[in-house]
Structure formats: structure tokens, C-alpha cells
Chains A and B, each alone.
Chain A
Amino acid sequence: MTSQSTERSQAKSSPTGAGILDRPQDSETEPQEDRDTLVKMLHQMILIRRFEEKCAESYSLGKIGGFCHLYIGQEAVAVGAISVLRPDDYVLTSYREHGQAIAKGVSPQAVMAELYGKAGGCSRGKGGSMHLFDADLNFLGGHAIVGGQIPLATGVAFASKYRETDQVTLCFFGEAAVNQGAFHESLNMAQLWKLPCIYICENNMYGMGTSLERAMSFQNVALKSCAYELASEAVDGMDVLKMRAAVERAVKRAREESLPTLLEARTYRYMGHSMSDPGNYRTRAEIEKYQERDPIKVFTKTLKDRGLISDNDINEIEAQIKEEVDRAVKFADQSPLPDAQELYTDVYANPINPSE
């Protein structure tokens, strides 16, 4: 795994095809996926939406503590991207991660119980909303320092290459993380060492209450990859099929050629940064403008137009999801609090007590 920099430093264009990629035309194309896959994706998107709505409700009831960052509006990004993965591929993400966790297969019960701070939670009540983990599903968190997961994901991809597996790693983060050094340091290492990591920037245009315009001198995130000769694409993050197609291309590149990619998913969050944010920094009209392109609305229409689902099917999906979410809440409610002794467990894998 040696540096290629000396032989490549003079090259104007990368032999690996890095740089901004020509995207396939945006023309409407027939989805390649079978009906089951498409319906499953729609199901997941609606499940995440309803799950998050329930979180807002539970938060207001005081059942969820601390910070709670909702994913409503961005569902197409997680679902489209993760739908491409094999079960043994890895996902790492930020603190706005309920959607990615569910898309990776963590049960809504385990996620809700974690938000409730219960022993049945996916991190046994020790992580909360911002630190969901499931080692068995290769869902590696849930990281709450902006950009902190980017070097970690780079290391997970490093491990796959080191062990010569063909697993790929997806790393999600918001556009505000792009201003952190961790992002730039990671992209540099990933391209230098050809690591199979796919960096997915969810550009929802606000870092908490600060708009992109007020925070980023050059706002084209995808183009920033040029600084590292790394392949990148800007994707319509409100369109789950475009998201899926872009990640498919990136996964192929990662799996077959062990190359990283930066994807900028342009999306929008409807809710505040967290539950405590009233969102006074933007207008209702702006939110409504994006809601016209709501990812669930758009995808539902696509599937209906293609005759793949009916209103009846949708009602059925909604009914199933209501049951799933209710079950999650019931599980979380009934799950016991962590035992008081749990306070001192899991600090060390190999605890050493010199006094013994």
C-alpha cells in the first residue's frame, strides 16, 4: 500500500478516471429494478418518515431525551444508497442516523428502545439517538462530532483492502462536515491509498442554523474532490432511483477497482436541526418549495405511473408501517431500563484492576 503520489503528481488527468464524472443524462429511464426491490425501497422510505414523526411525538412527550435529529425529507439518500449494498458492506454516519440504521436493517424496535434509553436498544441504552450501532449488521454508528466518522470510515475501508475482501464502506455526513479538516484529510488518504470508501455528503444546505452561503466559500461540494483527484458526482438526493444509480456506480468502482468516490446528494431537511430548533433562519415558503419535490411523493408517483403499485397497495404499506412503528414504541416502552450495574460495564474490553 505505497504512495502513488510521486508518479502521479505531474499527471493532468488521473489514470483512474478520477475527477468529476459525466453523469448519465437525467432523462427518465425505466427503472431496472424488479418490483419487489422498488416496493421495498418505498416501504423503507415511508417507514423512516413515520418512524421519525413518531420520534417527534415521543420527544414532545419526554420519552426521548437529549438531542434528537430527524431525517424527514432526506429519506431517499439513505434508502437509495444502502439498497445497493451487500449485508457485509459497512455503513458509518453522523448523529442524524435513524434513517441509515433502519435502512441497514437495524429493527425499528431496537432503534426506538435506544432513543428511549432502554436496555433493549441497539446500543443497550448507552448511546442514544446519536450513537446507534449494530456490529452484526456492520452498521458502525452513529458519530456525533461533525466529520468524526469520515476518518473512521476511511479506516474501515482500509481494513477491507488490507484483508483483501471486496467489502465497501459507505460514509454519510452533512455538508457542514465538508468544512472540517477530517473530510479533507480522509479524502486525501482514500485516493492516495485507493480505499474502497464511498463518501456521501448529504447537502441539506444548513449546518444547524447556518446556511451554506454563510459557511462555505466555494459551495460545489462535488467539485472539491478535484483537490484529491477523486471521482465524484452530484446527485439529486430527492430522487431515490438517481441516488441508487449513482451509488451503484460508486460501489462498482469500489468493489472492483478499490477506488473511492465522493457523492454530493442534494437534499433538504424539513424539520429543525434538532428537536429544540424552531428553524427561524428559513421561511415556510422555502420548506414548501422542497416539499413539492418530496422524495416519497416523487417515488410513489414514479411507481404509480409505471403501473407497479396502486392506491390500494400504498394504503396497505401505510397500514403495515403503522403497525411496525406502534410495535417499536410498545417495545421501547416495555423494555427495561439498563441495570444500574451497567454504568461500569463496557469501558474496557480487557479491564485491568491493579488492586486485585
Chain B
Amino acid sequence: MRDALNLALKEELARDSSVFLMGEEVAQYQGAYKVTRGLLDEFGPKRVIDTPITELGFAGLGVGAAMAGLRPIIEFMTFNFSILATDQIINSAAKMRYMSGGQFKIPIVFRGPGGSAYQVSSQHSQALESWYAYFPGLKVVMPSTPADAKGLLKSAIRDDDPVIFIEQERMYGMKGEVPEDADFTIPLGAAEIKREGKDATIVARSLMVPVALQAAEQLEKEGISCEVIDPRTIRPLDIRTIVESVKKTNRAVVAEESHPFASVGAEISAEITEQAFDYLDAPVKRISGADVPMPYAKNLEQLAIPDVAHIVAAVKEVSYL
């Protein structure tokens, strides 16, 4: 996964000289998670820039540079630190076009790892996509495979709007085929059916996609055929693909790492209920991260994150089994 992201960054830096990459430890240190490895050597310090630890400052600098015509990629070492920069992301990046009456475009990508990490407790392990997806003006993307990561990141960099691109910290080591074609992109706003099925729909994103696929495999052995859908872009959400699937399977489970309250899963559940109520044979079931700050202890941490067993149980619940 990290090599796919690295390749996307490399190709887009090579393609467009107005693209630059900025963040903490992205250059000389080669990236805290090595996603930016080698980029300083290839593109030099003008285009790959180490920053002080000053998230609000460099996020705002990026938005200003975008107003003046550049295409910044702003890396947050983790999205946990983006919380310091939310004023610039929300009040500046998301709203500049609207409140100027369409005079400015803000082609900027805010990217970095997010979601649960391994035993780093509450402040370094959380899912923030629901926050960002709330705001009109932002696009929110979360890849679940190396190929998606490459194709979606390239589209995000080429897009003329601010994109929040959340990479799952636990998935950086994930292996998978990645197209080497420099023209390979995946459009934003397009969900993908990761596995076809007919008995129940599981909507999952980011880390929950491989978990849902494992659950589907297990359920297949028990005679339940699950369709797994990854929205890939959270905003704008491809609800049509999800609703079409539910109309076919008549049952829906939404799995996410987020806390349950006011989450993206809650939104998807509401949309399914509004758009496919008559097709549902059971209420939509949501599987979420525990409604607590992330604990440190390994056993508690495991309990806080949805796993295969949770999803299997949820599918059985909506199937009245």
C-alpha cells in the first residue's frame, strides 16, 4: 500500500510542476511511514518540503498557495494532528470557493494515515472521516487496496477541489497488484463492488473492507452469499450503487471503525432506509467502533475495533438466523 501511494505521488509530482508536497518529516526523514521515500532525492527541496510541527500553519499555507494557483499535497503525519488544522481545512479550504462567489478553486490534497493504529491509545488512534464528510466543499476519500490507493490518490491530486485522503495506518503493509500505467486513475465518487453476492449487502470502507471480505468468505461456507461494497469516496457518496445492491439482497450491514454516533455509517443507514425501505427484509444493522476513546491495553483495543465475528453475527441478525 505505501509503495502504491509513493508511486502515485511520484507520478503526479513528475506530471505537473505546480504540485508540491509538504509536511512533517516528508523529505529528509523520508516520511514517518515511508510513504514519501525517495521523493526529496528525485524532486528536490523546492517541491518536497519538511515543515516545522505547525499543522494549522502549513495547512493554511497550502490553502493560500492553492488560491494563488499551485496544487499542494499537505501530509499530516497522522490525521490525529489534522485536528489542529481544522480551522484552515473547514473555514478556508472548504468554503473559499463558495463565499467568493466561485472566484477561486482550491486544488489541495490533505493526506496521511488515519483510523485505528496499534496500541497508541486515545489521541493517536481514531477515525475522523465523519467530521470532514460533514462539510460541503470537501471531498473525502478512503482507499482499501493498494490499486485503489494509487488510482484514487492520483485523481485526488488532479481534482480541483480540496480532498481529504485518509490512508489506514494498519494497512500500509498491505500487498496487492498495482497498475504501473502512469495514466491509471480511479474516478472519485465511484463505489466498487468488492465481492458479489445475493443474500445480504455489507457496506465497508478502509480497514473494514478486508474484514468484511473475510466475513463474507466465512458466511459463504455457511450458505449465505454476501455482496461487499466499498464506497471508496465518502463524499460525494455513491449511494446509488449501495441502494441497488440492497434492492437485490434486501438486507444491509454497514461496518465502520468510527464511533457510532453521527457517523458515516449512520448516514448510509439513513439513506438506505429512505431510498430502499420497501425492499428491506430487516432493519439496517450498523457495526461500529466502540463508543469510547481508544484504549491502550491490547485486549481492550481489540474489543474496540469491529472484527470478522461482529460482521458475521450482524449478517446473521439481519437474516434472522
Measured CB to CB, the residues of A under 8 A from B are 1-3, 90, 92, 121-127, 131, 133-135, 140-143, 145, 148, 150-160, 162-163, 181-182, 185-186, 188-189, 192, 345-350, 352-355
Contact = CB atoms under 8 A, between A and B. Distances in A.
B66 interface: yes
Contact of A355 (B92, B96, B240): B240
B312 interface: no
A156 B68 contact: yes
27 contacts: A1-B45, A3-B50, A123-B99, A124-B102, A127-B99, A131-B99, A135-B100, A140-B67, A142-B99, A145-B87, A151-B59, A151-B61, A151-B63, A154-B60, A155-B61, A182-B56, A188-B52, A188-B54, A189-B51, A346-B98, A347-B98, A348-B160, A349-B106, A349-B107, A352-B236, A354-B190, A354-B236
B104 interface: yes
B137 interface: yes
Nearest to B100: A133
B236 A182 contact: no
Contacts of B63: 151-152, 155
Contacts of A160: 68
B37 to A, nearest CB: 18
Q: Name, among B64, B100, B190, B236, the residue most crowded by chain A CB atoms within 10 Å (CB to CB).
A: B64
Nearest to B85: A151
Contacts of B236: 352-354
A189 B49 contact: no
Given A1-B46, A151-B57, A152-B60, A354 B239 contact: yes
B271 to A, nearest CB: 11
A185 B103 contact: no
A350 B92 contact: no
B8 interface: no
Interface in B52-96: 52, 54, 56-70, 72, 87-88, 91-92, 96
Interface string B38-52: 000000011001111
Contacts of B104: 133, 135, 140
Q: Which 5 A-B pairs have the closest CB atoms?
A: A155-B64, A151-B60, A185-B57, A124-B101, A159-B68
Interface residues of B, number: 58
A162 to B, nearest CB: 6
A142 B95 CA distance: 12
Given A1-B45, A121-B101, A124-B101, A192 B70 contact: no
A153 B64 contact: yes
Contacts of A345: 102
Contact of A148 (B50, B66, B88, B238): B88
Nearest to A157: B64
A192 B52 contact: yes
Given A154-B57, A188-B52, A189-B58, A2 B102 contact: no
A155 B98 contact: no
Interface in B186-239: 187-191, 233, 236-239
Contact of B45 (A2, A163, A188, A192): A2
Interface of B: 20, 45-46, 49-52, 54, 56-70, 72, 87-88, 91-92, 96-107, 136-137, 139, 159-161, 187-191, 233, 236-241
Nearest to A154: B61
B59 A158 contact: no
B101 A125 contact: yes
Nearest to A151: B60
A156 B72 CA distance: 12
A152 B64 contact: yes
Contact of B57 (A124, A142, A186): A186
A347 B106 CA distance: 11
A345 B97 CA distance: 10
Q: Name, among B51, B56, B187, B239, the residue most crowded by chain A CB atoms within 10 Å (CB to CB).
A: B56
A275 B154 CA distance: 48
B188 A352 contact: yes
Contacts of B96: 141
A118 to B, nearest CB: 11
B148 to A, nearest CB: 16
B91 A145 contact: yes
A159 B103 contact: no
Contacts of B68: 90, 140, 155-156, 159-160
Q: Name, among A121, A151, A156, the residue most crowded by chain B CB atoms within 10 Å (CB to CB).
A: A151
Nearest to B64: A155
A135 B96 CA distance: 12
Contacts of B91: 145, 148
B204 to A, nearest CB: 17
A153 B60 CA distance: 9
Nearest to A348: B161
A153 B57 CA distance: 11
A1 B160 contact: no
Contact of A155 (B49, B66, B105, B136): B66
Nearest to A140: B67
Contacts of A145: 87, 91
Contacts of B188: 352
A185 B56 contact: yes
Contacts of B67: 140, 152, 155-156
Contacts of A188: 52, 54, 57
A171 to B, nearest CB: 9
Given A140-B67, A185-B58, 19 more contacts: A124-B101, A131-B100, A141-B100, A148-B60, A150-B60, A151-B59, A152-B64, A154-B57, A154-B60, A158-B61, A162-B65, A181-B57, A185-B52, A186-B57, A189-B54, A346-B102, A348-B137, A354-B191, A354-B237
Contacts of A153: 64
